Chains A and B, each alone.
Chain A
Amino acid sequence: MSDTRTLDAKGQLLTNDGVPLKESLRKSLRRTKIRSFLLLLAPLLFLLIMFVGPIGSLLSRSVDDMEINRVLPETFAQYELWEDKSILPSEEMFAAVVNDIRATHKLEDSEGNNIGKNLLGKAGTRMTYEYSGWRSLLLKTVKSATKVNKRSKEEVKPYTWEAPYKEKMIKRDKRWGKVEFWQSLGAMKDPYTIGYYLNAVDLRFDANKNVIQKPEHLKIYKTIWMRTLQVSLMVTIFCLILAYPVSYLLATLPMRTSNLLMICVLMPFWTSLLVRIVAWMIMLQQNGVVNDTLVGILPCFEGMVNLPFFGEKNIDLCFSDEDRIPMMYNFTGTIIVMTQVLLPFMILPIYSVMRGIPPSYMKAAQNLGATPTRAFVRVYMPQSIPGIGAGCILVFIVAIGYYITPELVGGKDGLMIGNFVAREMQKTLNWGLAAAMGAILLAAVLILYWAYDRLIGIDNLKMG
């Protein structure tokens, strides 16, 4: 092969087939890329279907108000025309409600099954989130506005109710005459809403869709958000304080001892969460092991003593039954139990980073004249920071969404936002609100991740 044959007119390198080398390289690279992408396709699809999809669909509920707009389109159109929202709307709006109810009531799905009744039921549930009482008001009115044959379940005409409706509706239920009900429609009239997010931070819409504060006695979520943050931070700090020396021991002790110590760390980690929580309950409750011991063993002294400077004083040093410390079913309980439960998440990353720090560095620093403390602070600690970062971020992220521990030991002032998400999902069925709270949690974690990346760099994060 001579040089002239491997160069083309422009002087580019050619392969044996006469294709420019660059081109050929690009092609083969693309092939590898496609192949590796195809290999990744399965896990990618899995992620999409099992993870992104469900989370996305749940999050979309936090802004979705389509269904109620499907039920009351005419009413919401009339709402836009309602000028003075401090007085009752006109007959047109009352009629619009009845028309909407009748139209919805007849709706069928593609197989001809009636879905209208259930849509109205769901609408009642939805509307009650905006103003208490909507559910029964709407469903009562459905009964009067429509007429169904009990046996054939088919609609009977003519309707008993004819226009004008205003007086009849107020007579049927006086709540139709309360302007607050009508005003609350404003928060629902758009197919997409940020109302759930507002609700999650103790705000709401007024009749003109201005954002206002909720009444004082209904404010709950701000406190809970702050507490969630506080608990997560405190647990992270306590975990760090406890985990650092343990990890150091694990990393520096001779193999035999450190293995034993490692088992002590891992055994609770492998024990069921519930077992550990119940064990803490037995330890910390009012009549638990800790309080009983305090009452039993602390020296008891009570009586008059003559103190220098203070004179005669009545001193009560007894730790009696009234002095039992409340450590369970409150904030303290949540902190203690969560710290213990999450401790391994802090120990393990720090330990694995510490394992990688050669002991010779410390020796070298001391040889060069540093005191042990100085050597530790200036040489050892900076090298363990990636482990600290990983541990803190891990513990904080797990803690911020914690549910079962606060549920069991949180009592009145140890509940976190996870407990309220669960309440909305299971009990009140306000999935929009639950989704909004979940979205805020997710955003908080993402922001934390981003901040960590900016401050320390995610490349410095080491799990082992």
Chain B
Amino acid sequence: MKNVITKTLVASAISTAMLAGAAQAAVTMVSWGGGYSASQQKAYIDTYSSGEVNLISYNGGLGEVRAQVESGNVVWDIVDVLPSQARTGCDEGLFEELDRSIFLPAPDGTPMDEDTMVDVPNDCVVPQIWWSYVPFHKADTFSGEQPSTIQDFFDVEKFPGKRGIHTWANAIVEMALYADGVAIPDIYDVLSTQEGQDRAFAKLDTIKDHVVFWSSGAKPLDLINSGEVSMSLAYNGRIGGAVLNDGADYVTVWDGQVLEEEWLVLMNGAPNRAAALHFLVHASSSQAQADQAKWINYGPMRLAALPIMEAGEPWFNTGVNILEHMPNTEEHMKGGILADPDWWADNGQAVNDRYAAWMAQ
């Protein structure tokens, strides 16, 4: 008995020491899990030969980031963050401001910061992807006329069945206004007024009794598959993953999609700072960004990645064309709303409170 205990103790001591040793060397990157993390693993980490990178998952938000930085016990190096968090985190000093000159320019020599679809918001962020909130349904759900606009999502008479929407206000209020007839460039001006917000919530009221809420990215697919809802909003990569990898017969309605930025940031006080920076340079290169699109249909943030993909079609790993599944192609951008992270950083709390109150009614 005693022998067994000693052996166990020795074994666990050794494994702890090994873990500690590995943690010293390997960069810890934190991302969202699922097919998205898998694409980062394949495109960035498997192609990286200068060191080890461990990819772990988190549930979003800056809560853990701030706790680590404030307690002085930083264990993460790189975090994959949403646009408004990229801004508040940088403002609050949770992320490090990076020397922009170390990053690789596009093949034609354009510096990285000028090679993006929107202005780089601050010096903390490293380009990642574009993703979007977008409605989808099964191909055989409706007979006859098919949903093609965001109005159809809000029209339960014409297209009966429940609607799956998420438990926070982002994107859904923009969609509501767009469906109510507000032109895309005016959406945030309208939303900034009390009347505009009332108008968005009045539009939401029209589907209130037909709504099923989801809060994790895999859920909308379950809701659609089980028939619980007839149409649902989802992250476009989740829909694409099911279509491209598993042959699901989903139809995406791109009109009214709300596009969000995604950035990589370096934690302030990252334990493996130098190695992490080196990896960030690799992960943000045009080639790595294009490579990611072999594994998931999120749009690369760097413009220079698009021609690489175009020239390489069929680019997706299963041998199909990928560009038509991307949220940020010219065709899909026609009815696309670019989310305004600054507006959300300013108004997110109030609008989300109101949304929560609306949900609870």
Enumerate chain A interface residues (CB-CB to B < 8 A). Answer: 115, 117-118, 120-122, 124-125, 128-129, 132-136, 139, 217-220, 223-224, 227, 285-288, 329, 407, 411-413, 415, 420, 423, 425-431
The reply to whether A132 and B359 form a contact with Cβ atoms under 8 Å apart is no
Nearest Cβ distance between residue B215 and chain A, in whole angstroms? 7
> Hey, which chain B residues are within 8 Å of A217, CB to CB?
201, 354, 357-358
* Residue B66 CB within 8 A of the other chain: yes
Chain B at the A interface: SS class: helix
A431–B60 Cα distance when bound, in Å, is: 16
Would A218 and B346 be within 8 Å (CB), given that A118-B92, A426-B59 are in contact?
no
Q: How many A-B residue pairs have CB under 8 A?
A: 104
CB contacts (< 8 Å) of A118 on chain B: these are 91-93
A427 with B60: in contact, given A220-B360, A287-B226, A413-B360 (CB under 8 Å)? yes
Query: Are A121 and B92 in touch, CB under 8 angstroms?
Result: yes
Q: Is the CB of B75 closer than 8 A to any CB of chain A?
A: no
- Asked if B92 and A132 sit within 8 Å, CB to CB, the answer is no
* B352 in contact with A415 (CB, 8 Å): no
Contacts of B342 in A (CB 8 A): 136
* B207 contacts partner chain A, Cβ-Cβ < 8 Å: no
Whether B93 pairs with A117 at a CB distance below 8 angstroms is yes
Minimum CB distance partner of A411 in chain B: B213
A-B residue pairs in contact (CB < 8 Å), sample of 17: A118-B93, A121-B90, A125-B92, A129-B349, A134-B346, A217-B358, A224-B360, A288-B226, A412-B167, A413-B359, A413-B360, A427-B60, A427-B168, A427-B352, A429-B63, A430-B349, A431-B66
* Contact present for A220 and B349 (CB under 8 Å): no
> Which of A124, A128, A412 has the largest number of chain B CB atoms within 10 A?
A412
> How close is B227's CB to chain A, nearest CB, in angstroms?
5
Query: Closest CB-CB distance, A180 to chain B, in whole Å?
Result: 11
- Smallest distance from the beta carbon of A176 to chain B beta carbons, Å? 15
Q: A125-B88, A223-B357, A411-B213 are in contact. Are A428 and B346 (CB under 8 A)?
A: no
CA distance A115 to B94 in the complex (A): 11
User: Chain B residues with Cβ under 8 A from A125's Cβ?
Assistant: 88, 91-92
Decide if the interface of chain A is mainly helix, strand, loop or mixed.
helix
Q: Is the CB of B360 within 8 A of A329?
A: no
Q: Which residues of the partner chain A approach B90 to less than 8 Å between Cβ atoms?
A: 121
Known: A121-B88, A286-B227, A427-B63. 11 other contacts (CB 8 A): A121-B92, A128-B345, A132-B347, A217-B201, A287-B228, A413-B359, A426-B60, A426-B61, A427-B168, A429-B62, A429-B66
Contacts of A428 in B (CB 8 A): 348-349, 352
Q: Shortest distance in angstroms between A148's beta carbon and chain B's nearest beta carbon?
A: 12
Is B117 engaged at the interface, CB distance under 8 Å to the other chain? no
Docked-complex contact A132 and B350, CB < 8 angstroms: yes
Kindly state whether residue B114 has any CB partner on chain A within 8 Å.
no
Q: Is B211 at the interface (CB under 8 A from chain A)? A: yes
Q: How many angstroms between the C-alpha atoms of A223 and B357 in the bound complex?
A: 8
Chain B, Cβ-Cβ closest to A115: B93
User: What size tier do the contact residues of chain B reach?
Assistant: 35 or more
Q: Give the complex CA separation of A282 and B251 in angstroms.
A: 25
Q: Which chain B residue lies CB-closest to A288?
A: B226
CA distance A223 to B88 in the complex (A): 30
- B155: CB under 8 A from chain A? no
Nearest CB of B to A173, in Å: 12
B345 and A136 form a contact (CB under 8 A) = yes
Residue of A nearest to B70 (CB): A431
Return the contact of A429 from the options B88, B211, B352 (Cβ within 8 A).
B88
B242–chain A nearest beta-carbon distance, Å = 18
CB distance from A175 to the nearest CB of B (A): 10
Q: With A286-B226, A411-B212, A426-B63 as given contacts, are A220 and B357 in contact (CB-CB < 8 Å)?
A: yes
Question: Given the complex, which residues of A lie within 8 Å of B228, measured CB to CB?
Answer: 285-287
Residue ID in chain A nearest B357 by CB atoms: A220
Q: Residue of B at shortest CB range from A122?
A: B92
B61 to chain A, nearest CB (A): 3
B28 vs chain A, min Cβ distance (A):
19
Residues from chain A with Cβ under 8 Å of B63 in the complex? 425-427, 429
Cross-interface CB contact of A121 among B91, B353, B359, B360, cutoff 8 Å: B91
Asked if A427 meets B61 with Cβ closer than 8 Å, knowing A115-B93, A125-B88, A285-B226, the reply is yes
Query: Is B356 a contact of A220 with CB atoms below 8 Å?
Result: yes
Are A121's CB and B346's CB within 8 A?
no
A407 and B354 in contact, given A121-B93, A412-B360 (Cβ under 8 angstroms):
no
A133 and B92 within 8 A (CB): no
Chain B positions within 8 Å of A288 at CB level: 226
